[in-house]
Amino acid sequence: MSNPWVVAVVTIELIAASAFFVAVEFALIAARRHRLEDAAVTSTAARAALRSSAELSVLLAGSQLGITVCTLALGAITKPAVHHWLTPLFDDAGAPLWAADVAGFVLALVIVTFLHLVVGEMAPKSWAIAHPERSATVLAIPMRAFMAVTRPLLHLLNQMANWCLRRVGVTPVDEVDSGQDPAALRHLVEYSATAGTLDERYRGNLISALELEQLTVGDLMRPDTDPDAVAPSAHRDEIQAASRDTGHLRLLVRDGNDFRGVVHVRDSLTAPPQSTAAELMRPVLTLSVDTPIYEALHTMRETRTHLAVVTGETGGMAGLITITDVLRRLLPTATGEPDQRVV
C-alpha cells in the first residue's frame, strides 16, 4: 500500500478503533454500578452498560480481540508503509543501503508504536478512568453491537481462558466485585478521620458498625442466669407491680427453670384483672451464644422481638440480650454508656 493518503486514513481508523476498545475495557471496570443503575431508569445506553458489566469476561475478551487486531493491522499496514517511505530518505543522505533499511525500520517502529501507545491506549485509558460512567454509557451501545457480531468467537476465547485458569486453581468470574471488605472500609474511615473530613463522633459509630461483623451474641449478652421474671400464674396487678419494682417494661415468664415467654407490661394495661402472664405472654426468642450479631439482629427485627434468652454450649441459659444492647454497641456516641438493667 503505497498511497500515503490511504495509509494515513487506515492508520487513523485503526488507532481510533484501538482507543475505543481500550476505553470500553477501563470504563466498565471503573464505573460505579449504582450510578449506572440510577441512570438506567431513563437511559438506554446506561442499560446497555449494565448488561455489559454483567458479562464482563465476554466484554474483556471482545476488547482484547479488538486491540489485538488493531495492533496486528498497524504492524502489517502502517509500519511497512512508513518503512518504505523513510528508507529512501536515508539512502539519499548517503547511508549504505543496509543502514538506510535498518534506520527506516527502527524509525517506522518508533513512530507507529508511539502513536498506538499514546493515542490508541494511554489517552483513552486516562479518559475512561477520569469519567468512567460517562465513557461507559457513550461506548456501551457500539460495543454491544460488536459483541453481538463476534459473540461465538468471544465465547470460545473466554471458555479457553477460563479452562486455563481452572487448571491453575483460579475460579473465573463474570462480574467485577463492587463491594468493599470491612478492613478496607475501616482503613477508609480512619483515613478520613485523620484527614479531618470525618467527624470523630461519626468515626466511632462507623467503626462500631464494622466491628459488629466479628461479634457474636456472647460478646454483647448480659450474663444473668437468674433474671427478673414472673410466674405464669401471675395476674395483671402482679405483672404491673413487678414492672414498677424492676423498672422493666418486658418481663420473662418463668416456670421453674423453664422460660416460657415474655410479657410486656403494655399488654396488661387493657387486660381484665384476672388475666395471667401465661395468657398475655409472647413466645420467647432463644439464641445460641455463638450466633453472629448481624444474624441475631435480623432475627429480632423479623420477629419483632426486643428480648432474647441466650443459651450456652450445654443448652442452659447463659444470659440475656436486647436489641438495645446491639444499638448501644452500634451507636455508642448516640446512646451513651449502657446501663445495667436487664430489659
CATH of the domain at 244: 3.10.580.10
pLDDT of residue 115 exceeding 50: yes
Please give the pLDDT value at position 341. 44
Residue 175 within a domain: no
Specify if 342 maps to a domain.
Answer: no
198 and 163 co-located in one domain: no
Residues 108 and 196 grouped into a single domain: no
Same-domain check for residues 229 and 209: no
The residue-averaged pLDDT of 238-260 equals 84
Q: Which H or E run contains 286? A: strand 285-288
Q: Assess whether pLDDT exceeds 60 at residue 221.
A: yes
Q: Is residue 259 situated within a structural domain?
A: yes
CA pair distance 18, 120, nearest whole angstrom? 5
Which of 132, 134, 152, 136 minimizes the C-alpha distance to 62?
Answer: 152
Q: What would the mean pLDDT of 210-220 be, rounded to a whole number?
A: 79
Same domain, 139 and 45: yes
In a domain, 114, yes or no: yes
* Same-domain check for residues 18 and 56: yes
How many distinct structural domains can be found in the chain?
A: 3
Orientation of helix 4-30 relative to helix 79-92, angle to 10°: 130
pLDDT of residue 123 exceeding 70: yes
Helices (H) and strands (E) counted in the chain, each on its own, are 17, 7
Grade residue 97 by pLDDT with cuts at 50, 70 and 90.
low
Same domain, 17 and 143: yes
Are 149 and 233 within one domain?
no
Q: Which of 20-24, 272-276, 314-318 has the highest mean pLDDT?
A: 20-24
- Per-residue pLDDT band for 103 (boundaries 50, 70, 90) equals low
- Tell me: do 124 and 150 sit in the same domain: yes
Q: Tell me whether residue 340 is in a domain.
A: no
> What pTM was computed for the model?
0.55
One-character DSSP codes across 69-90: HHHHHIIIIIHHHHHHHHHHHH
What is the structure's pLDDT at 83? 64
**What is the reported pLDDT for 93?**
67
Are 16 and 142 members of one domain?
Answer: yes
Q: Name the domain boundary from 167, 196, 229.
A: 167
Q: Say whether both 163 and 78 belong to one domain.
A: yes
- Together in a domain, 153 and 290: no
Confidence label for 85 from pLDDT (cuts 50, 70 and 90): low
Kindly state the average pLDDT of the residues 233-252. Answer: 87
Torsion over CA of 78, 84, 86 and 87, rounded to 10 degrees? Answer: 150
Question: 322 forms bridges with which residues in the sheet?
Answer: 307
Angle at 27 between CA 23 and CA 195, to 5 degrees: 125
| Type of residue numbered 221 | M
Residue 196 covered by a domain: yes
Query: Look-up: residue for cell 485458569?
Result: 165
Q: What is the pLDDT of residue 87?
A: 67
Residue 343 lies in a domain: no
Q: What is residue 43's DSSP assignment? A: -
- Domain range for residue 125? 4-167
Q: Considering 104, 137, 167, which residue would you say is the last residue of a domain? A: 167
Q: Determine the Cα–Cα distance for residues 79 and 65; give it in Å rounded to an integer.
A: 20
Instruction: Answer yes or no: do 67 and 208 share one domain.
Output: no
Please state which of the ranges 138-142, 159-163, 202-206 shows the lowest mean pLDDT. Answer: 202-206
263 Cα distance to chain centroid = 42
**Is the pLDDT reported for residue 178 higher than 70?**
no
According to the model, what pLDDT value does residue 141 have?
92
The mean pLDDT value of the chain amounts to: 81
- Which stretch of 30-34, 107-111, 244-248, 253-257 has the lowest confidence by average pLDDT? 107-111
DSSP letters along 130-152, please? HSHHHHHHHHHHHHHHHHHHHHH
In a domain, 315, yes or no: yes
